Structure 1
């Protein structure tokens, strides 16, 4: 019997790359995203698999619970949870819309946390399950000009690593994917495509493949790309003030 994966933010970027990877290994798919037309388009690409689509905006409070309740009502068991949905914004904190920044917290932190909370008990009962939480290399230092985004990703990394310890011996693994700049719609949404940080952006499919392999191994944290790995190591040893200055510099235009 095929396992089932739930992927949030499944219609583009890393999410869609994850769809292709799991589909190639014959997983049944549960795809959650805001774009209903794109969801149904993807559904039609995999007639040989059971593909369930859920049109849901995770920036709306309570949306994560609605996803869980819908799957419970349909009797669908989630073996793998990929918390991929997320977005960022570029600009000074006080000059950006507080509404959009609150929505960012809702998607990047609250929905991820709630989905993990709802599906984890069932995985523990089965003594089998895998969770991937998509963070970022932003998780390793403060990020001036993207202050809330960097902070949300720091939460994801800290939360996920804590769960790894809590879940030892349960048969459930948690993997945190920490990509650096990646060629997806993220850059456009965050208005960072023309910054220094995106001058060496990685290919989305390559990032997803590294994350997928790490998930299957049950790896704790995976940072994609040699330069990104070096950067996260440096961030551990630099004073936080210098890390913040470095992050502010690469957020500047090319």
Structure 2
């Protein structure tokens, strides 16, 4: 059994999907875990599964609450735990055009996707830097590399923020041995589209565009360990990203405008 003195991996949004698979990936690699999410029953089930491999702590937190990042860090400190790896994974989407949702829905989204990520990272940086092999893995999205689409207005913008945030953190902390990576998957089998109510719409997309959550998790962990600052899992998405970079902004926006209705509910 690995020693908790080697530091824990804190994974937000660990109750399902990519977050749960990242937890499983780190457990396979012998890294002790702190799992956090809103659904404590899901966290407990995952902890029970992984405790045969590594020490696991669970702390329920709803990152949509402004005080949650500070309370989470206080709970970690009170338990005498040290975080070596931070995985900012918690996230979701708000469907529809910008004014079709109340501002409170957008404010909660921004709290989870931007404010909580930024504050958790700021609060935990001293702990991460204290280890010679500290890591930050920010789960962004291919959407952050593509043009913004019609519907889910803030989603691509928030994911683009994560990518730029990761790039800056990687540069600022390179001399500390702290490695930072933005993981940018495309469509991935998870509960994400059930939560946003777009499962039926998304089911019409070609199966070749869908990624498996465990493959995405492994790609992200491998990338941050390999000191890659931005990683796009899946050869199809790598190809799409490569081709898109050679198109004009006008052409890329035109393609997104013509195809938004296939992937977004306006």
Query: Which TM-score tier does this pair reach, normalised by the shorter chain?
Result: over 0.9
Match of 2:137 in 1: 132
TM-score, scaled to structure 2: 0.89
1:165 and 1:197, CA in 2 relative to 1: closer, same or farther beyond 3 A? farther
> Which deviations, in whole Å up to 9, do the C-alpha atoms of 1:147-193 show, x marking residues without a partner?
10111001110111111111121110101100011111112223333
Partner of 1:75: 80
Match for residue 47 of structure 2? 43
Measured in 1, the distance between the counterparts of 2:257 and 2:11 equals: 32
How far apart are the structure 2 equivalents of 1:100 and 1:243? Answer: 29
Please state if 1:61 is matched with 2:70: no
Task: Within 5 Å, give how 1:141-156 maps onto structure 2.
Answer: 141-156=147-162
Q: Displacement of 1:126 after TM fit?
A: 3.4
The match for 2:165 is: 159
Structure 1 residues 25 and 195, CA, compared in 2 at 3 Å: closer, same or farther? closer
The 10-residue stretch of structure 1 (12-21 or 242-251) with the greater mean CA deviation from structure 2:
242-251
CA drift of 1:122 comes to 2.2
Q: Which runs of 5+ in 1 are unaligned?
A: none
- Within 1, Cα distance between the matches of 2:51 and 2:175? 37
* Rounded Cα–Cα distance in structure 1 between residues aligned with 2:94 and 2:223: 28
The 8 Å contact of residues 144 and 244 in structure 1, kept in 2 or not, is answered as no
Partner Cα separation in structure 1 for residue 247 and residue 101 of structure 2: 28
Q: Counterparts of 1:197 and 1:149 in 2: how far apart (Å)? A: 21
How far apart, CA to CA, are the structure 2 residues paired with 1:12 and 1:82?
Answer: 14
Q: Distance in 1 between matches of 2:100 and 2:71?
A: 33
Do 1:192 and 1:251's aligned partners in 2 also have CA atoms closer than 8 Å? no
Q: CA deviation at 1:143?
A: 2.4
SS of corresponding position for 1:15? helix
Q: 2:223 aligns with which of 214, 217, 231?
A: 214
Q: Does 1:172 align with 2:181?
A: no
Query: What is the deviation of 1:198?
Result: 4.5
**Residues 130 and 174 of structure 1 are in contact (CA less than 8 Å); yes or no, is this contact kept in structure 2?**
yes
Aligned pairs (5 A) from 1:115-130: 115-130=120-135
**Would the alpha carbon gap of residues 244 and 231 (structure 1) be closer, same or farther in structure 2, given more than 3 Å must change?**
same
Residue aligned with 1:252, SS: helix
**Structure-1-length-normalised TM-score:** 0.93
Counterpart check, 1:189 vs 2:195: yes
Over aligned residues, Cα RMSD in angstroms?
A: 1.9
SS in 2 for 1:7: strand
1:247 aligns with 256
| Cα distance, 1:62 vs structure 2 | 1.6
Task: Decide whether aligned partners of structure 1 residues 249 and 181 sit closer, same or farther in structure 2, where only a CA change above 3 A counts.
Answer: farther
Is contact 2:7-2:81 (8 Å) kept? Answer: no
User: Contact 1:127–1:170 at 8 Å: present in 2 too?
Assistant: yes
2:27 to 5, 23, 26: 23
CA 1:249–1:201 in structure 2 vs 1: closer, same or farther (change >3 Å)? farther
Size of the alignment, in residue pairs?
A: 254
Shift of 1:196: 8.2
